[in-house]
Each structure stands twice: as structure tokens, then as C-alpha cells.
Chains A and B, each alone.
Chain A
């Protein structure tokens, strides 16, 4: 080993705590980037492979009923590559151990052969045989997992009014139901909604549908236009009660998966990028200052005949050692945490398997960025050091030009102690260095703000959605829209305190070229249960004409209050209406449009009809209420608000929560690393000066006060700056979490600010304590010897 390398090792050992701090900061930035990018890569690749291998369809359609012969007409449409027809019917389930009724969507399995499209993946057991046995059914994994069901268990379903018991033959997954959520529900509720498959003949017979289908899935030939195919399918199916074909973008599961990935991208690209930049900046500034401290050694090496290249290489190796440690730790951390996160998504998305895939391009890119940042810091410092004539560099620096600090010149000096004045002048003498330290402290504060703003945003969504907007206990929906009498029936159910009607109509809203499908909700003008709330947040009164849409929907359709949009009704008698937008509602999940219920019914020309009711139930009568619901065949669905809230907590909230915790851990490490390093560098840069003060008769406490005073002053300036900067980061990052299914509001609480301030204050206190202890160790004689 060359002697320069030996020097390197010993220097590293002497600086180990700082080297470790820099490596950790770098590792945190890298780990976060690798973890999140790999997670996205894993999800996307898994999804794409799954879709391809299991032939996920591209266009879907629902209809009332069409004879099987129509299938050939569909297959003949130009651009259609493959067609799968079948039956999909929603039924009420009676699940053992579940007090409330659940809803099942039963899909048919073809009479002969396998599904052509949307093929199933068999997790355990087998598919129902059909020809030899009856009353066998396969269940989707999410529902099975929520209820602990396994092959051989039984489940009861009401098929066309008759309650039948089925044996579970196996647990399956389908690319159509990666996210098992009921249609029109923004959130999954795996306890009360499940997906099933049974043989066509048995299902069709039960519903008198044999020889017909009500569900179509299609794949496109290469180069075919989705829009043309959709239009052609709509034409073919028009006589059969079609509800309009749609592409993947409107497919509920697909869009949820897409949006979850997009949420993840929002949370996992912008912030890690900020983080990586902060880490890179820190590494750069620490390395450059560390090397500036060795300027006399650099000068000596030069004077003794070492070339700039040799000196440069030596210091590059120095930073290389730290970079290698940082990259190694960061990669391991990123893989470890990424694997854990992937494990969590496995419970959330139903893929046959979801394995962690390391995003190698990001690994390389992030490592290169970190290494470059370190090397640029080194290069700058080495260049500055070698540029000085060696003889000059070896002498102690010329005394800096001090002058009274600005605050002193303002006549405030009598309020300050000598130590404090010295601290002030020190800061002012080196504005760039003080500025860098201050910026580092501010960045440390800022990155602490972001993760907690995720947490607070999620908490706000939960409160907003389920306390401010939804104040009902349950939402009951009818099998078919019914007369107002149904509302009276609901009100007479045991335990019902209050009920308000709603009307759901599937519509297609159009403004210019943009089209979205959703359920238009008719609600009482000033309901007390499911309320329409604006951004303030205050309740909006639904007027007797016009439509209120959620702000997100308005921005997608590019419309404002006062504009008119076209609503195409997709149920019953198809018709198109032009309605003016009269207000914007706020919501954070899905998209919504509201009208006053009677106004909506007038437009539909169907008389007073309701789709169901939002109901408040007295908890004391809860079991009786649920039993009554189960006994009422007209009730198709029963959505319990608390289960929805739980579902949200367990999925989106949990994934954001886990990310938030990991981010928080990293941010804390980085904040400590930054502050500790700043204090260490400031101490070593000033060792001589501080020793001189000691020799001149200042006490250890007074000298400590100069150093600590400086850190405290810089921290005081940095904190508000950091809070401001952090709020900006949070705003930028949260605004990327803005999808059609999930959005996060920017919520900045005083608790969030207080926590960031606390961490930075603690880290500063710890670093100051450490610096003060080091100060006691300074050997006064040797620190001064080289002075004159």
C-alpha cells in the first residue's frame, strides 16, 4: 500500500464519525430512490406480465341480455381480435360470521374450454367442474382472504330469489379484478364485496339466461382504433340494453391499479428526488469543506513534487471510500425496504405473485448522481487548494477582516455578551460558509416536513370523507330503482333513526372531447347525511336545476361553473341532456356529480324513483337492523361507512403510512447527519481560534458559547426558512398525488412544524454538546504552536 493510501486510511479512521454521517446521508437518499423506483418497476412489470399472460381485455361492455349468436357479430367487427362473452350478475351473499349482507359478482365460466380473455389464475383448489357436479363456485382471493375462506368451505347466495349454498372449489385471481372493488365505489371493501366464478350453464339457468350473455370483453387487433371498436360494439349491442362499451381507462380495477401506481409515483419520485438532491448537496459541501481543512497538507505535497493529478487522485479516493460505503448501504437499504413494501402491496393488489425487482437503471443513475456530487465537492476544494501558491497555502491564513456585525452597528451591541458578539461577527465574516450551513440546516428542517404532510393529508381525507361528507351509518341500495315507498320502508326498519333517499344513474359526462363515466347522484337539496361539501368546507345546497361536479371532475372536463356539459344516461331509456354546472364540490376519492333528486328524476322522465337510501342506525339495534337487511331481498347492497373507512385505512392510508414512516426515518437520519457534520466542520475549522481564546483567558464555557452561539444563531435563521422550504416541497409533492381515484390535500399542521423544529433542535443540541466536549479535548499548546 502506498503511503498516501495509508494516510487516506488513517484520515478516514480519524474522521470516521463524519465519514459515516456523510455515507449515511448519501445512503438515505439512494435507498429511498432505489426503494421507491424499484417498487414502481415491480408493480408495473408484474401488472404488464399478468395482463399479457392472462389476456386482460381492452374493451368491455355490459348489457341486459343478448343471444349468444350476437357474439359472432362482435367478432366480425374490424379491429376486434378476440371476444369473450358471458354472464356477470350481482347477487346478495350470506357469509358465515358476517352480520351484514355482502354483495357478490358472479361471473360465468365457459361451457367448453377455458376463458379466452381475462383468464383466471388458480391460487388453490380447482375450478368448478360444472358438468359432473353442481353448486361449486370459485372465489376471488381478496374476499377469501378477508373472510379466511378456503376450498371446501361453503357460502350462501341468493340466486334469482332462491337462497342456495355453494361449496368453494378454489381460490382464483383475475386480471379483471386486481383490485376487487364494487363498481362506482372509489374504495375497496373486501369484507362486503367479492367476485366469484361458476359454470355458465348453472348460472345462466338460475337466471333464465341460458343461450344469452350480458357481459362482453374484447381485445383489439394491432393498430385497431379503440374508439372505432367501442362505437361499433355500441351499435351492435344497442338493441340489447347495452350500457355503453368502454376501454381500459374506464375499467374500475385497471384504473385503480393505475392510480395507485400513480399515487406511488407522486410520493416516491418527487420526494426521493428532493431527498437525493439534499443528500448530494450535503455530501458535496461536507467533502469540499473537509478537504479545504487539509489545504496545508495539499500545499506541502505540491511543494514536495506531487503533481496536481496525484494530489487530486488522493482526495478522490478519499471521497470514493465514502461514496462506496454510501452506495453499498443505500443499495442494501433500498432493496431491504423495497422488498418489505412490495410485501405490503401484495396484500393490496391481487397479482399471482409480486416480487421485488431492483430497478438497476435507477440504482446506477442515483449512485452516479451521489458520487458526482461528492466528486464535484472534492474537485472544487482540491482545485482551490492547489491554486494557491504552496508556500502561501502553508502559512496560517491571513487574519480575516472583522468588522462590527450589522446588529452591533445598529446600536444593539450592549445587549450582547462578548461571546455572542464574536459569534455574530464569525457568521458575518464568512457569509458563504454561514449561508451554506444555514441552508443545510434549513434543508434538514424542510425534509422533515414532507412525510408528516402525507400523514396529515391522509388523516384529513379520512375526516373529510367520513365525518364531514358522509354522516350516515350505512348506505342501502335497491336491486332496481324503486318508488318513494321504499324510503318509508327503510325508515321503518329496526334501529333506523333517519333515512334520506338517493338516486344513482350511470352517466357519461362530456365536455368537448373529454368523456368520463360515473354515477350521477341525486340527493335531497339540503340533506343531512350524504352532504355535498365545497372546498371551504361548507355544505352546498343543491338547486332545482343544474349539476354540481367535484372540482377534480371539472378540471378533467375543463369546465367551470356556468358552462354546460352533456350527460348521456346509460341506463334504461338512453338519452342525452345538457345541464349547466352550478357549483364545484370538494372530494378526495373518485369523481362525483350531484343533482337535486327530484330535478334528476324530472330529467329522467321516470317519476319519483330512488336507488336507495343513506341511513343512520342506532347502534343499540345494530344486529336487528343487519338481520332485517339480510331478510330484505330488494336490498342489493349495504355499504357500512366504518368498513369503508377501515378499508381506506388498510389500503391507501396504510401504504402512504408505511412510506411516511420510512421517509421520516430517513429524514431524521439526514437531519442529524447534516447538523452533526456542520458542527464538526465548524469546530475543526476554528480549533486554533478557539484555542487562542482559551489561552487568552476565556473559560471553556465562554469559548463553547461562541461556537454554540453560532450554531444557535444559524439554526434560528434556518428554522423558519426550513419550514417555508418544507411547505413548498410538501405542496409540490402532494400536488403530484392527484389522480382520478385518490387525491391528497395539502395539510400543514402546527404539530408537523413543531416536530421538525424539535428534531432539528435536538440534533443541534446533541451536536453542540458533542462540540463542547470536543472543545475540552483541544490541546491548547499544540493547537497554538503552529500559529506564529
Chain B
């Protein structure tokens, strides 16, 4: 697999020009200690650039989600370097991490995690209320093609629609990083495509760094770069010359 940098095709920004958002060296996360210790990450090295679309591949238990949680400031590393724009996330306290998540990171989860008692618009507005310079919830929902379903409650939306509300919620704050943990895991192919298209569109139009976890290798073709994890290490790095159109991917 090619792992050297090379020419990038549009629409992704040129890597040479792009800013490094995450600088990760020898990142390890070990749960528990002694004989009960479980090594979830065993020394990860990578740099993630603004505007990239990254896919993390790997089997269950390979460490993908742990890595994503580290990037999103939901968990702290056991050792190693984890810099975001040069700031060491490992040294952030709870309040600083909260501010980091609030301002810089958008999360999309496999289980959507919408507030059932709020409408689509309110679910998005809930987040825009607490951050600087967000888009209007309506605008974010339009970006995911849900302009006409804004006043529905989660229970009235299909799974794909709920996931798109979750994406709208994640991107309405104009995050620099969009972290998606198996966003299509609970969806059928067709719905999955609309969700991935929404993520790709955000990445392309807003220039958000998108990191998508999947265990579906076919999806890797939509990315700029692909990392495959196994036993807490990156075992494969691949760079796509050309991002494939999502509709061409079948799984």
C-alpha cells in the first residue's frame, strides 16, 4: 500500500498547504493496571491535517474508538504526545477539555444519541446555544437535507434522518474536527450513503477534518487517508490519490 505523500486531487486541500491539527506520537492508553491491565492503544504515531477526510479501519477491539475518544478529548492518554494545534490535550483539565469539545469538536455516534424530548431543530439548537459563532440550526439541517423535517421529534424520524440530525448537531458549531464513530453502523446501505454524503459534504464545503470509524473496508475509498488498526497499533497506512464518489461504493 502506498504510504508516501503525493499529489492530492481536489476537492481536498493540498496537504502541503494544510495545517496540522493533531500531532500524535507514541500515544498509549492502558486501562486498569497490574495483571488486569488492558492495552487499548499501544503507541500510535500520526498527524491529521485540516480538511482531511480520514477513515479508521479495524476489527472490534482494535482501538479505533479509543483513538477517536482521545482525539475528541473524551479520554486522556496513559502516555505519549497528543497535541491539538500545538496544545497538549493530555495536560488539559476537565474544564479545558469541555471548552475544547465545545468549540472544536463535533461528534457523531452510532446510536445517534438525540434528546428524545427535543425536536430536530431543538436538538441542534441545544448545541448552538453554547458555542461561538454557530450556524443557524436551520442552516445546519439544510446541509443534511432535513429542512423539511425540522420540527419532528426523534421518534418521528427514520434512523437515517436521526443520524443526519446528529450530524447537523455536530457541524452546526462549525467544528474544526468532526469525529464519527460508526455513523452508518445501524443503517441500511441506502440510508448509510445519504449519511456519508452529508459528512463528505461538510468536509468539503466547510473544510472540517473528518475522522470516520468503520469496520467496512469498502468505505475506505472515500477517504484521503486510511489507517488500519489492530491490537492498538496502526498496522497499515494508505493514501488515496482520488477520493471515490460515495455513491459508487457498495457494501
Which residues of A does B touch, CB under 8 Å? 2-4, 6-7, 10-11, 14, 296-297, 299-300, 302-308, 310, 389-391, 394-396, 782, 785-786, 788
CB contacts (< 8 Å) of A4 on chain B: these are 126
Nearest-Cβ distance from residue B161 to partner chain A, whole angstroms: 12
- CB of B221 within 8 A of chain A? no
Over the window 95-126 of chain B, the binary record of Cβ atoms lying under 8 Å from chain A Cβ atoms (1 yes, 0 no) is: 10011011101010111111101100010011
The residue from B113, B117, B159 contacting A300, defined by CB atoms under 8 A apart: B113
Q: Which of B68, B112, B113, B125 has the most CB of A within 10 A?
A: B113
- CA–CA, A782 to B154, complex, Å? 11
- CB of B169 within 8 A of chain A? yes
Nearest-Cβ distance from residue A72 to partner chain B, whole angstroms: 84
Given A390-B74, A391-B74, A782-B155: A304 in contact with B127 (beta carbons within 8 A): yes
- CA–CA, A396 to B75, complex, Å? 18
Name the 3 nearest CB pairs between A and B, nearest first: A305-B102, A10-B117, A300-B113
Over the window 139-177 of chain B, the binary record of Cβ atoms lying under 8 Å from chain A Cβ atoms (1 yes, 0 no) is: 000000000000000010001000000000110010000
- CB of B20 within 8 A of chain A? no
CB contacts (< 8 Å) of A3 on chain B: these are 118, 122, 125-126, 129
CB contacts (< 8 Å) of B113 on chain A: these are 296-297, 299-300, 394
Given A3-B129, A305-B102, A306-B98: A391 in contact with B69 (beta carbons within 8 A): yes
Nearest residue, chain A, Cβ from B102: A305
Nearest residue, chain A, Cβ from B105: A305
- Contact B130 A305, beta carbon cutoff 8 Å: yes
The residue from B115, B129, B170 contacting A2, defined by CB atoms under 8 A apart: B129
Given A305-B103, A305-B131: A7 in contact with B126 (beta carbons within 8 A): yes
- Contact A14 B69, beta carbon cutoff 8 Å: no
- CA–CA, A306 to B68, complex, Å? 19
- Contact A785 B159, beta carbon cutoff 8 Å: yes
Nearest residue, chain A, Cβ from B154: A782
CB contacts (< 8 Å) of A389 on chain B: these are 69, 74-75
- CA–CA, A514 to B81, complex, Å? 82
CB contacts (< 8 Å) of A300 on chain B: these are 107, 109, 113-115
Nearest residue, chain B, Cβ from A11: B117
Given A6-B122, A394-B109, A785-B186: A303 in contact with B117 (beta carbons within 8 A): no
- CA–CA, A302 to B105, complex, Å? 12
Nearest-Cβ distance from residue A313 to partner chain B, whole angstroms: 13
CB contacts (< 8 Å) of A390 on chain B: these are 74
18 new A-B contacts at CB < 8 Å, known A7-B122, A785-B186, A788-B186: A3-B118, A7-B115, A7-B117, A14-B117, A302-B74, A303-B109, A304-B101, A304-B127, A305-B131, A307-B98, A310-B130, A389-B75, A390-B74, A391-B69, A391-B109, A391-B181, A394-B113, A786-B112
Nearest-Cβ distance from residue B117 to partner chain A, whole angstroms: 4
Nearest-Cβ distance from residue B47 to partner chain A, whole angstroms: 23
* Contacts A/B (CB < 8 Å), 11 sampled: A3-B125, A7-B117, A296-B113, A303-B107, A304-B101, A305-B173, A308-B98, A391-B65, A394-B111, A782-B155, A785-B159
CB contacts (< 8 Å) of B127 on chain A: these are 304-305
Nearest residue, chain B, Cβ from A782: B155
Nearest-Cβ distance from residue A4 to partner chain B, whole angstroms: 7
- CA–CA, A337 to B131, complex, Å? 51
Which of B72-108 touch A at CB < 8 Å?
Answer: 72, 74-75, 94-95, 98-99, 101-103, 105, 107
- CA–CA, A119 to B65, complex, Å? 87
- Contact A786 B186, beta carbon cutoff 8 Å: yes
Nearest residue, chain A, Cβ from B123: A3
Interface residues on B, range: 35 or more
The residue from B68, B107, B111 contacting A296, defined by CB atoms under 8 A apart: B111
CB contacts (< 8 Å) of A10 on chain B: these are 117-118
CB contacts (< 8 Å) of A310 on chain B: these are 130
- CA–CA, A391 to B101, complex, Å? 13
- CA–CA, A7 to B131, complex, Å? 19
CB contacts (< 8 Å) of B125 on chain A: these are 3
Given A3-B118, A305-B98: A786 in contact with B74 (beta carbons within 8 A): no
Nearest residue, chain A, Cβ from B158: A785
Nearest-Cβ distance from residue A15 to partner chain B, whole angstroms: 10
- CA–CA, A655 to B210, complex, Å? 74
- CA–CA, A302 to B69, complex, Å? 12
Which residues of B does A touch, CB under 8 Å? 65, 68-69, 72, 74-75, 94-95, 98-99, 101-103, 105, 107, 109-115, 117-118, 122, 125-127, 129-131, 155, 159, 169-170, 173, 181, 186
- CA–CA, A83 to B197, complex, Å? 102
CB contacts (< 8 Å) of B65 on chain A: these are 391
Nearest residue, chain B, Cβ from A303: B107
- CA–CA, A122 to B125, complex, Å? 72
- Contact B101 A308, beta carbon cutoff 8 Å: no
- Contact A306 B118, beta carbon cutoff 8 Å: no
CB contacts (< 8 Å) of A299 on chain B: these are 113
The residue from A7, A307, A395, A396 contacting B95, defined by CB atoms under 8 A apart: A307
- CA–CA, A482 to B145, complex, Å? 110
Nearest-Cβ distance from residue B12 to partner chain A, whole angstroms: 26
Nearest residue, chain B, Cβ from A310: B130
- CA–CA, A296 to B118, complex, Å? 15
CB contacts (< 8 Å) of B98 on chain A: these are 302, 305-308
Given A300-B115, A394-B111, A786-B186: A308 in contact with B94 (beta carbons within 8 A): yes
CB contacts (< 8 Å) of A308 on chain B: these are 94, 98
- CA–CA, A307 to B93, complex, Å? 12
CB contacts (< 8 Å) of B110 on chain A: these are 395
- Contact B118 A7, beta carbon cutoff 8 Å: yes
- Contact A391 B68, beta carbon cutoff 8 Å: yes
- CA–CA, A785 to B95, complex, Å? 34
- Contact B129 A391, beta carbon cutoff 8 Å: no
Q: Which of B99, B110, B118, B131 has the most CB of A within 10 A?
A: B118
Q: Which of B94, B109, B110 has the most CB of A within 10 A?
A: B109
Nearest-Cβ distance from residue B171 to partner chain A, whole angstroms: 12
- CA–CA, A788 to B169, complex, Å? 22
- CA–CA, A389 to B69, complex, Å? 9
CB contacts (< 8 Å) of A302 on chain B: these are 74, 98, 101
- CA–CA, A299 to B131, complex, Å? 18
Nearest-Cβ distance from residue A401 to partner chain B, whole angstroms: 16
Nearest residue, chain A, Cβ from B72: A303
- CA–CA, A310 to B131, complex, Å? 13
Nearest residue, chain B, Cβ from A12: B117
CB contacts (< 8 Å) of B95 on chain A: these are 307
CB contacts (< 8 Å) of A296 on chain B: these are 111, 113
Nearest residue, chain A, Cβ from B112: A786
Q: Which of A4, A303, A395, A782 has the most CB of B within 10 A?
A: A303
CB contacts (< 8 Å) of A307 on chain B: these are 94-95, 98
- CA–CA, A220 to B75, complex, Å? 76
- Contact A786 B130, beta carbon cutoff 8 Å: no
- CA–CA, A7 to B69, complex, Å? 27
CB contacts (< 8 Å) of B99 on chain A: these are 305
Nearest-Cβ distance from residue A376 to partner chain B, whole angstroms: 22
- CA–CA, A395 to B114, complex, Å? 13
Nearest-Cβ distance from residue B116 to partner chain A, whole angstroms: 8
CB contacts (< 8 Å) of B114 on chain A: these are 300
Nearest-Cβ distance from residue A295 to partner chain B, whole angstroms: 11
- Contact A391 B75, beta carbon cutoff 8 Å: yes
Nearest residue, chain B, Cβ from A390: B74
CB contacts (< 8 Å) of A782 on chain B: these are 155
Nearest-Cβ distance from residue A11 to partner chain B, whole angstroms: 5
- CA–CA, A7 to B154, complex, Å? 13
Q: Which of B68, B110, B117, B170 has the most CB of A within 10 A?
A: B117
- CA–CA, A307 to B103, complex, Å? 12
Nearest residue, chain A, Cβ from B166: A300
Nearest residue, chain B, Cβ from A297: B115
Nearest residue, chain A, Cβ from B109: A394
Nearest residue, chain A, Cβ from B114: A300
- Contact B107 A304, beta carbon cutoff 8 Å: yes
CB contacts (< 8 Å) of A11 on chain B: these are 117
- Contact A303 B129, beta carbon cutoff 8 Å: no
- CA–CA, A7 to B119, complex, Å? 10
